[in-house]
């Protein structure tokens, strides 16, 4: 499916209209800061995406994302009783000792262009201690750091 706010009205495959829309992370940090942009995206969802299935047709929508603002479109949607909702926490249990994570954040924030690389190196050197006690919700995401092989 096309990106958020792209033309979707009248979308068909031959005589068939869509019966499923999957929306994954349609909001970003910049968009959610602006109330007009939030309203514009909310209108796009309600007036363009939701009617795609056609009158009387079965049409399902799966909306996946992270709440980036208390008034984000995802947050609004989760409050709507007409939607079936499921929330998942990325972390079931936080690491036992957050001290090393505080140090990691300090390295990331205070080293300009090198911050990301230095923070990653710090994580690699202290991974076992940083992850001790943490329980993640997804088996495939069995690490607390992106793009790290979950196997020690």
Read off the pLDDT of residues 30-83 as tens digits, 9 standing for 90 and up: 999 999 999 999 999 999 898 888 778 788 999 999 899 999 999 999 999 999
CA-closest candidate to residue 121, choices 107, 133, 134: 107
Whether residue 50 sits in one domain with residue 120: no
**Tokens 């940090």 -> residue:** 29
In a domain, 151, yes or no: no
Whether residue 113 sits in one domain with residue 55: no
How many CA atoms are closer than 13 Å to the CA of 130, on its beta-carbon side? 19
Longest dimension (CA), the chain: 59
In a domain, 146, yes or no: no
Whether residue 72 sits in one domain with residue 12: yes
> Higher-confidence residue: 105 or 150?
105
In a domain, 148, yes or no: no
Give the domain range for residue 32. 1-87
Whether residue 74 sits in one domain with residue 110: no
> Higher-confidence residue: 28 or 144?
28
Q: Are strands 60-64 and 135-136 parallel, antiparallel or unpaired?
A: unpaired
Q: Name residue 91's beta-bridge partners.
A: 136
In a domain, 150, yes or no: no
Domain count across the chain = 2
């Amino acid at each position: 499916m096309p990106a958020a706010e792209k033309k979707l009205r009248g979308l068909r495959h031959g005589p068939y209209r869509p019966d499923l829309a999957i929306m994954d992370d349609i909001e970003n940090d910049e968009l959610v800061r602006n109330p007009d942009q939030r309203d514009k995206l909310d209108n796009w969802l309600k007036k363009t995406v939701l009617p795609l299935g056609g009158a009387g047709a079965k049409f399902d929508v799966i909306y996946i994302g992270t709440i980036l603002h208390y008034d984000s479109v995802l947050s609004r949607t989760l409050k709507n009783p007409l939607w079936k909702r499921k929330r998942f926490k990325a972390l079931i249990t936080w690491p036992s000792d957050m001290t090393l994570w505080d140090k990691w954040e300090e390295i990331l924030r205070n080293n300009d262009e090198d911050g990301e690389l230095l923070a990653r190196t710090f994580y690699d050197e202290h991974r076992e201690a940083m992850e001790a006690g943490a329980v993640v919700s997804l088996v495939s995401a069995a690490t607390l750091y992106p793009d790290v092989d979950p196997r020690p």
